[in-house]
Chains A and B, each alone.
Chain A
C-alpha cells in the first residue's frame, strides 16, 4: 500500500506571506493527489486535487504542484489570510490506480499570524 509523508507538522506565517506544505509518496503508479483542509471543530474538506497527467493546478490563492519523478507534491497558499489557519492533509490512493480509498499524511497545522 501507499505511504505518504507530510512536512512540516506545524507552520506559522505572517498574514500576506506564502505557505508551502510538502508531501512525498512511495508508489510511483499513484495518479491522484487531493488536499483537505480541516477547520477547528469540523471534518476535513477537499480544497484542491491534482491528477498525474498535469504538473500544476491553481484555484485562486491555492495551487498544487506535482513532481512525478521525485514522487512529491506540494500545496502552495499565497497571500495568506487568518481564515487559512487550519490543519491541512495531503493524500494519495491507498492502492495505485484506484482512488476509492486514500492514505492520508500526518497533517500540517498552519497558523496565519495577524
Chain B
C-alpha cells in the first residue's frame, strides 16, 4: 500500500514565524503535491514537484515555498506565517500519470 505521511496532524504557530510542513512518500513516486483545503473552496494546489529539485507553482503559491532535496520528501515552507494561512494542508504523491495518494493532512492554526 502507498503510504504518504505528514510530520504533524495539528500545528499552532504565531504570526511571523517560519513554518515547515514535511511530507514523505514510500512508493518512489515522481510527482508530489501540496494542497490547501478550505471549506467551500475544495483542494487548491499550492506547489507541485515532478522530480528532485524541480517545482512548479500551483494556483495559490503566494506566501509559500517548497523544497525537494530527495525523491521521497517534499517540504512546504511558510516564510512568515500569517493568519490567512490558517488552513488544512494536504500532501499527495503520484506516479507519472493518474491516481494521487494523499496524506492525512496537517491542520495549521496561525495566531
Contact = CB atoms under 8 A, between A and B. Distances in A.
Interface of A: 6, 9, 32, 34, 36, 41-46, 49, 89, 94, 98-102, 104-107
Interface stretch (B11-19, B69-77, B94-102): B94-102
B81 interface: no
Contact of A46 (B40, B43, B97, B100): B100
Contact-residue size bin, chain B (C-beta under 8 Å from the other chain): 20 to 34
B99 A43 contact: no
B40 A99 contact: no
Contact of A100 (B40, B41, B42, B96): B96
A107 B90 contact: no
B52 interface: no
Interface of B: 4, 31, 33, 35, 40-45, 48, 50, 58, 90, 92, 94, 96-105
Q: Is the interface of A mostly helix, strand, loop or mixed?
A: strand
Q: Is the interface of B mostly helix, strand, loop or mixed?
A: strand
27 contacts: A9-B40, A32-B98, A34-B99, A36-B102, A42-B105, A43-B4, A43-B92, A43-B102, A43-B103, A43-B104, A45-B102, A46-B100, A89-B43, A94-B45, A100-B50, A101-B48, A101-B58, A102-B100, A104-B35, A104-B42, A104-B43, A105-B42, A106-B40, A106-B41, A106-B42, A107-B42, A107-B43
A101 to B, nearest CB: 6
Contacts of B97: 98-100
Given A43-B4, A43-B104, A106-B40, A99 B98 contact: yes
A69 B106 CA distance: 39
B104 A42 contact: yes
A36 B94 CA distance: 14
Contacts of A36: 102
A46 B42 contact: no
